[in-house]
Amino acid sequence: MTSTVNPSTADPTTANTSPANASPANAEARPDPHAPAAGDLAQLLSPDGERGAHPLLDDWAGDIDDTRLAGLYRDMLLVRRIDAAGVALQRQGQLGLWAPAEGQEAVQIGITRACHDDDFFFTSYRELGVLVARGARPADLVLGWRGEVFGTFDPYDLHVATPQIIIGAQTLHAVGYAMGVQRDGGDQVAVACFGDGATSQGDVSEAMVFAASFGAPVVFVCSNNQWAISEPVGLQSHLPLAGRAPGFGIPSVRVDGNDVIACTAAMRWALDHARSGRGPAYIEAVTYRLGPHTTSDDPTRYRSADEVALWRTRDPLLRVAGVLRERGLLEAAEAEAEQAAAEFTAGMRRAALEATTRPPLAVLDDVYAEPHTGIDRQREQFSAYLEGFADDEEGTR
């Protein structure tokens, strides 16, 4: 008998779990005998700050002592402050859009800090923490959201591909890169980051087919933040998303995505599996998007204030802050993060305010090397469209 619990309103330690997910057939399909049943939720730090144990992850978290935990907390707090600055810049009209990451910092920082410097990320538009942890500059985070020319970073500087807007497409790119690493005889791992909504896209399934068939060194990281814009994950899948991977022959683990220790440990396990030649691995990180899908979204139209309040009690920063406070390490960690955030966000504001935006028609200037009649027609149509706004502006004066 299967469970149809909606994880948006249920405790993440029990949501969408079912004994059917731990069937012998699934267990036999997984090449890694140490991978847990997909319905299990791995947790090493509870919302109350209690350090726990897990048979798969304990060996991968033994070196995460108080000092390392303070470093992870600094990273997460820095990302939260940068995220708030991005939202503010969009509200002030400096950015066209922003995709908030509030609530998902533990996943993003945990998986990034577990990687080698040359492991290559393929992300969606929400993995702000990956970019920050990989050394992105303030301008790298804002110019793209302004639609500026040369508004992105060099992927080879950060070992992060240009964030993908097409839902789920980056999983194919990650597998292709991993297969290239395979053929070059390298030891890099490709990391594909996507959300629960992307798991319904064919690209993700196709990526897992190729990854499993060729034993590609790739880690799939699904941040299950409970909502694909306004669609709850329970409508897409009545069972945990981690349970899909074993069907492709890919071992998976389902972790508390608000537990930065568990996320780091799970990623270390997955990276070791992929890097050692055993093929792809899959992580479902159960977390929550505390803010809107993007700054153009109004989440109050589809989810309740009580639901958000419940998940705020599971805030990934709060549980670590409690531990550090008891150890006398919180004040120093916060001060360091706030100083770094002040400098970084000031750089974001400068980058936005000092950006030189080309006239709208200039978007058509470099489409072809030579004059083209099709572009001429588009220029005429776009010019007429823009003139309509000029009339509106004149009428408001």
pLDDT of residue 111: 98
pLDDT per position in the chain (397 positions), as tens?
222 223 333 344 444 433 333 333 333 333 343 344 444 799 999 999 999 999 999 999 999 999 999 999 999 999 999 999 999 999 999 999 999 999 999 999 999 999 999 999 999 999 999 999 999 999 999 999 999 988 899 999 999 999 999 999 999 999 999 999 999 999 999 999 999 999 999 999 999 999 999 999 999 999 999 999 999 999 999 999 999 999 999 999 999 999 999 999 999 999 999 999 999 999 999 999 999 999 999 999 999 999 999 999 999 999 999 999 999 999 999 999 999 999 999 999 999 999 999 999 998 998 999 989 999 999 999 999 999 887 666 555 5
Report which of 285, 326, 269 is spatially closest to residue 62, judged by C-alpha positions. 269
Domain boundaries, the chain: 19-353, 360-395
Task: Write the secondary structure of 41-67 as one string of H (helix), E (strand) and C (coil).
Answer: CECCECCCCCECCCCCCHHHHCCCCHH
pTM, 2 dp: 0.88
Class for the domain spanning 19-353:
alpha beta
In whole angstroms, what is the distance from residue 131 CA to residue 159 CA? 9
pLDDT of residue 38: 43
In whole angstroms, what is the distance from residue 351 CA to residue 397 CA? 30
For β-strands 227-228 and 231-232, DSSP reports them as antiparallel
pLDDT of residue 11: 44
Cβ-Cβ contacts under 8 Å for 27 (sequence gap 6 or more): 37, 246
Residues with active-site annotation: 289, 293, 302
pLDDT of residue 390: 77
In whole angstroms, what is the distance from residue 69 CA to residue 354 CA? 37
Cβ-Cβ contacts under 8 Å for 377 (sequence gap 6 or more): none
195, 124 contact by CB (below 8 A): yes
144, 151 contact by CB (below 8 A): yes
Task: Write the secondary structure of the chain as one string of H (helix), E (strand) and C (coil).
Answer: CCCCCCCCCCCCCCCCCCHHHHCHHHHHHCCCCCCCCCCCCECCECCCCCECCCCCCHHHHCCCCHHHHHHHHHHHHHHHHHHHHHHHHHHCCCCCCCCCCCCCHHHHHHHHHHCCCCCEEECCCCCHHHHHHCCCCHHHHHHHHHCCCCCCCCHHHHCECCCCCCCCHHHHHHHHHHHHHHHHCCCCCEEEEEEHHHHHCHHHHHHHHHHHHHCCCEEEEEEECCEECCEEHHHHCCCCHHHHHHHHCCCEEEEECCCHHHHHHHHHHHHHHHHCCCCCEEEEEECCCCCCCCCCCCHHHCCCHHHHHHHHCCCHHHHHHHHHHHHCCHHHHHHHHHHHHHHHHHHHHHHHHCCCCCCHHHHHCCCCCCCCHHHHHHHHHHHHHHHHHHHHHHHCC
pLDDT of residue 394: 59
pLDDT of residue 397: 56
